[in-house]
Structure 1
Amino acid sequence: MTKPFGAMTVAQLSVLIQSGAADPVEIVRSIFEGIDKHPDKAIFTVLLKERAVEEARASSRRIRDGRSLGALDGIPIAWKDLFDIEGLATTAGSKVLTSAAPTASDAAIVTALKRAGMISIGRTNMSEFAFSGLGINPHYGTPQNPHGIDVPRIPGGSSSGAAVAVAAGLVPVAMGTDTGGSVRIPAALNGIAGYKATRGRYTMDGVFPLAKSLDSLGPLCRTVKDAVWIDAAMHGLTASKVCARPLKGIEVAIPQNVVFDGVEHGVAAAFDAAVERLAKAGAIISRMAMPAFDEILASMARCGALVTAEAFALHRERLAGPEAADMDRRVVMRTRLGEKTATPDYIAILDLRARLIAESERLIGDRLLAFPSVAHVAPPIAPLETDDDLFVATNAKTLRNTALGNFLDWCGVSIPCGTGDAGMPVGFLLSAPANRDEALLGAALSAEAVIRGDFV
């Protein structure tokens, strides 16, 4: 049986479109039919059916006339619910913004990918204001992890709907943002690829912020190759400058502190098996301590988290007014913690960050870093919805590994590496210091099949 269009990779779908074997209008109609039939109605917050059909018709005409804009012309994409879409209010997963004025134009990245010929399908659900790694949303519902066949399990957040839309085979790619792990966490928990670019690699104009010192973005898709193609288009390129690096001789360092604390046995086993496969394929594996990790956690305990301080600054007026009553109580509780971070402490955090970034870059050198994207598989939703203490503890553990990279300004790619408890996916996180995205993606292109092993 032929795969649904939404379940294909970007590269597979591109071949069909550019060869004339599939028409963008046919693809878009099939995509919406799949979304309409899918039982989980919490994945999307808005569908852009009229816009998508119009864009598909334009793509179809271009390709038929021999004027294709490139490999991404006619490819559908979904957007996390904090990217501006012309004519719509940007709600960021919250009901308190539903009455906001419609935006006059698309976010800059939406415009860039439209210029590449990509077709906007809709907006995907998310943790309210992007402030949770679990993906639970009391306003629009919580998208269910497609791999959770025993009980409903979390999608991971905050780009929850984006990950589920791809993992469920509804769209080939969705765009997310990542402030503490919001691309890599849901990618890992849903068994797909997720690329978090270096902060500042793309413009954030028209993207609702969380913490501007940490905010970045990137695609959730099926393969690293798809991410590489999307990355190129976001820079206005028709072909990527990224080249696959020979796997033999690539140096990969595995931190020994913090990131394996409390790791589930199944996650550790899947990660270790992937490391062994990499070593057999010629990668040079080393193990080392990352002192920065312990210093980051100590600073958070002493001064509070950088993301929390900046989130409070962003939302302080909202939290002081009646809107707070209409927000997720756990988002309100976590954001208010930022009020405790005094100005001297905030400055101390920034100074610490600058020092640790420099020290870590010297320690890492030309190596890549590898550790589990998340120390556990996706847990059940129900207990987290009713037990706030469990929610807080699980959220902190879920965010821990990826948030270290945000603080140190790393780029990273989460690749499925196997399964853990209950047959749920495990993510293998490859990271590199800031602005080494090309080297990271080139290595990930070569390593992906080895890391995945038997995981499809």
Structure 2
Amino acid sequence: MSKSFGAMSVAQLSSLIQTAAVDPIEVTEAVIDGIESYADRSVFTAILKDRATEEAKASSKRMKEGRSRGMLDGIPIAWKDLFDIKGRTTTAGSTVLASGPVAQADATVVATLEQAGMVSIGCTNMSEFAFSGLGINPHYGTPHNPRSSDVPRIPGGSSSGAGVVVAAGLVPVAMGTDTGGSVRIPAALNGIVGYKATWGRYPMTGVYPLAKSLDSLGPLTRTVQDAVWIDAGMRGAAVPSIVARPLKGLDIVIPDNVVLDGAEAGVVAAFETAVDWLAAEGASISRFRIPAFDEILALMATYGALVTAEAFALHRERLSGPQAADMDHRVVMRIKLGEKTSLSNYLAILDAREKLIADVERLVGDSFVAFPTVAHVAPPIAPLEANDDLFFATNGKTLRNTMLGNFLDWCGVSIPCGTGDADMPVGFLLSAMRKRDEALLSAALSAEAVIRGE
């Protein structure tokens, strides 16, 4: 039997564990061996070997005694390094936090999935303070996109390591956060599934923030089914209640403004092919302008970005002190832009946001919205590291499509839909209005095989 347990889906591995074909201890040891032998050392910031071993032993004991906690028992999971892990300092991808106090308790979602029997394998690298969609980190290194066969390419951010560990087959699932696209972007660029939940679906206690009005959580997985299982576990459910809905009659809106502007031809081709396949299976496709998209961009140009304003409020003292010199200068530059957003402008952004959310919900209703997750495939790392102007321009383009959903509080699932330039993955982003997570995941379950061309 193959020992590449990290390359299996959660469902595949769960079947082996629940039928006693493999033991959780064997799984954990093999996964840790795979991580330790992986050439790219920048993917993890910590391997939780002692904790994982103890949790695997406890899972193994439960299995032998017939006390399985359910489908997630014994499944390894990696955590983006802004989830508190008891007894460890949470770095949030920054060296300025590395000497801080250790966490006195696990983040709530970490504790919840431990209760479901999951095994915490390690902490994954990320953009510093989660403030970049590219995944470049000058402190802990930049994880290389495992799908690249020519030059080292970005993994996408800010959940960079989380995307890579799943795509590289090291771990079946990794947990990320998404403030402007930080789950869906690495999922798209690495050719895996990424689910961003509606804001507030899961508790944020013990998760280092970026912008509290926008921060949400979500898993990076191999399949939509895996994301459904993890979602159930995060909500304390023994089994998922979400099932696939028929594709026939599924209403999908494709915006004809903003999201395809400047998109690479290969990205558009892969996306449109998936749309044609969905239509052939009975999905109802309509195309029209969503005015709120243009209004969001205009709002940001006038008042600044909501994420930047809230990030500046969080880091104001750090930026005015000696720690700023030890931060990525590009992160410092972006956060400092938030200083320009006055309180009155910040309140104006919040008022406009509520109006735009209501406008779009009236326009779209219960339909789903689809467009490319990212308008381009993963670009090479080296030019971005060497040129700040290119870095900022590429970061803005990378975040453009996904940040619309965060601003409008949508939930979304990025599903691989083929490849573009350099044979790099393209993501198909299926989204729904806020708090329609169950409907979205149900639609994604049935649409996934079609979107993938399977």
- What secondary structure is seen at the aligned counterpart in 1 of 2:123? strand
Superposed, 1:275-286 pairs within 5 Å as 275-286=275-286
Aligned match of 1:101 = 101
Aligned to 1:332: 332
Aligned residue type for 2:171? V
The 5 Å alignment of 1:211-360 reads 211-360=211-360
The unaligned stretches of length 5 or more in structure 2 are: none
Deviations 1:397-451 (A, max 9, x none): 0000000000000000000000000000000000001000000000000000000
Task: Using the TM superposition, give the Cα deviation of residue 366 of structure 1 relative to its aligned residue in structure 2, in angstroms.
Answer: 1.1
Root mean square deviation, CA, Å: 0.6
Q: For residue 119 of structure 2, what is the aligned residue in structure 1? A: 119
CA distance in 1, matches of 2:114, 2:88: 17
2:17 aligned partner: 17
Q: For residues 324-349 of structure 1, give each alpha carbon's deviation from its aligned partner in whole angstroms, at most 9, with x where no partner exists.
A: 00000000000000000111110110
Matched residue SS, 2:213: coil
SS at match of 1:90: coil
Q: CA deviation at 1:2?
A: 3.1
Q: Percent of aligned pairs with the same residue?
A: 72
Give how far 1:288 is off: 0.8
Moved over 3 A (4+): none
Work out the number of aligned pairs and report it.
Answer: 454
Looking at structure 2, the residues matched to 4 and 98 of structure 1 have their Cα atoms a distance apart, in angstroms, of 32
The residue number in structure 2 matching 1:70 is: 70
- Partner residue of 2:205? 205
Deviations 1:76-113 (A, max 9, x none): 00000000000011110000001110011000000000
Letter in 2 for 1:148: S
Aligned to 1:42: 42
Q: In the aligned structure 1, how far is the partner of 2:398 from the partner of 2:5?
A: 32
Deviation at 1:3, TM superposition (A): 6.3
Q: Give 1:131's aligned amino acid.
A: F
The CA distance in 1 between the partners of 2:267 and 2:88, in whole Å, is: 41
Unmatched runs of 5 consecutive residues or more in structure 1:
none
What is the rounded CA distance, in whole Å, between the counterparts of 1:3 and 1:191 in structure 2?
22
Q: Quote the Cα distance in structure 1 between the aligned partners of 2:114 and 2:210.
A: 25
Deviation at 1:254, TM superposition (A): 0.2
Inter-partner Cα distance in structure 1 for 2:74 and 2:241: 22
- 2:168 pairs with 1:168: yes
Query: Secondary structure in 2 aligned to 1:16?
Result: helix
Describe the SS at the equivalent of 1:371: strand
What whole-Å deviation, never above 9, does each CA across 1:167-222 have from its counterpart, x for those lacking one? 00000000000000000000000000000000000000000000000000000000
**How do residues 185-200 of structure 1 correspond to structure 2 at under 5 angstroms?**
185-200=185-200
Q: Give the match for residue 90 of structure 2.
A: 90
Please give the residue correspondences for 1:364-443 in structure 2 after superposition, counting only pairs within 5 Å: 364-443=364-443
Q: Using the alignment, how far apart are the partners of 1:12 and 1:241 within structure 2? A: 19
Instruction: Describe the SS at the equivalent of 1:413.
Output: strand
Partner SS state of residue 94, structure 2? coil
Counterpart contact for 2:303–2:346, Cα < 8 Å = yes
Q: 3-state SS of the aligned residue for 1:217?
A: strand
| TM-score under structure 2 length normalisation | 0.99
One-letter amino acid matched to 2:93: G
CA distance in 2, matches of 1:348, 1:100: 36
Query: Distance between the aligned counterparts of 2:108 and 2:247, measured in 1?
Result: 35
Counterpart check, 1:133 vs 2:133: yes
Letter in 2 for 1:306: L
Alignment-mate amino acid for residue 370 of structure 1:
A
- Please list the CA deviations of residues 101-150 of structure 1 after superposition, one character each: whole Å capped at 9, or x if unmatched: 00110000000000000000000000000000000000000000001110
Q: CA deviation at 1:241?
A: 1.6
Residue pair 2:3, 2:30 contacting (<8 A) in 1 also: no
